[in-house]
Structure 1
Amino acid sequence: MKKKILVVDDEISICMLLQNFLSRDYDVITIYSALEALEWLEDNLPDLIISDIQMSEMDGYEFLTKVRQRGFTKHTPIVMLSGRAESKERIKCYRLGAQDYLTKPFNPEELEELVKKNLYPIHYAIEW
């Protein structure tokens, strides 16, 4: 059974891009709103969440905080996406509980490595 990845981004093009890159190896669910994603998480538990930071209604920081406050998603790995490359943005995400941070536009190979690293934290390296 494929690992399940939840993608949360209000930009349809980014969701389609992530779906295209990841759907060969993973079951990808795309949701265009953080509020809708929280509702979806009531009945579903993904293996990984990839979330944008800048979204309408609820931004990625608040979404990340709410995911971490829930018992059943407390330890779900989260990769945050952002158009901002500043260190302070990364640090804020890490302090709120994100495992990784990827700047848009992103390199598909880097995305693939971050996904592997978070889904298979011990065995993701090709060579030891």
Structure 2
Amino acid sequence: MKKRILAIDDEQTIGVILENFLAEDYEVITKRSGAEALDWLETLLPDLIISDIQMEPMDGFQLLQEIRTIGYMRHTPVIMLSGRTESSERIKCYQMGAQDYLTKPFNPEELKEVVKKNLFPIHFAASW
């Protein structure tokens, strides 16, 4: 059974790109807003979440805060995406509980490795 990834981005193109890059190895569900994602999370549980930061009306920071307050989502890995490169934004994501942060445009190979790192932590890896 494939691991399930929830990808949230208000730009449809990014959702399609994420799905195309990851669908071979994972079940990818895309949502266009934080509210859509929270509604979906009431019925299913992903193994990993990838979220844009700059979204309206609920931005990625607000979504991350909501996710971390849901008891059963507390330990779900979250990767944040942003077009901004300021280290202060990256630090804020880490302080709020995100595991990783990628800038857009992202390298597809780096995305795949960051996803794999978060879904299969090294101490669980069968081989190097």
TM range (shorter): over 0.9
Report deviation, 1:126: 6.4
Structure 1 CA distance for aligned equivalents of residues 83 and 99 of structure 2: 17
Q: RMSD of aligned C-alpha atoms?
A: 1.2
Residue 16 of structure 2 is aligned to residue 20 of structure 1: no
Distance 1:12 1:73 in 2: 25
Contact 1:117–1:124, Cα closer than 8 Å, also in 2: no
Give the match for residue 117 of structure 1. 117
> Contact 1:9/1:51 (CA < 8 Å) preserved in 2?
yes
Give the Å deviation of 1:91: 0.2
Length-normalised TM-score, structure 1: 0.96
Q: CA–CA distance in 2 between the matches of 1:37 and 1:117?
A: 23
Partner residue of 1:67?
A: 67
The residue that corresponds to 2:10 in the other structure is 10
Residues 3-40 of structure 1 deviation map (CA, whole Å, 9 limit, x = unaligned)? 00000000000000000000000000000010010011
For residue 72 of structure 1, give the secondary structure of its aligned residue in structure 2. helix
Shift in Å, 1:43: 1.0
Please, which runs of 5 or more residues in structure 1 have no aligned partner?
none
How many aligned positions are there? 127
The residue that corresponds to 2:104 in the other structure is 104
Deviation per CA, 1:59-106: give whole Å up to 9, x if none.
000000000000011100000000001110100000000000000000
TM (norm. structure 2) is 0.96
Q: Which runs of 4+ in 1 moved over 4 A?
A: 123-126
Give 1:124 shift.
5.3
* 1:126/1:113 CA distance change after superposition, 3 Å: farther
Aligned-residue sequence identity (percent) comes to 65
Would the aligned equivalents of 1:7 and 1:50 in 2 still touch at CA under 8 Å?
yes
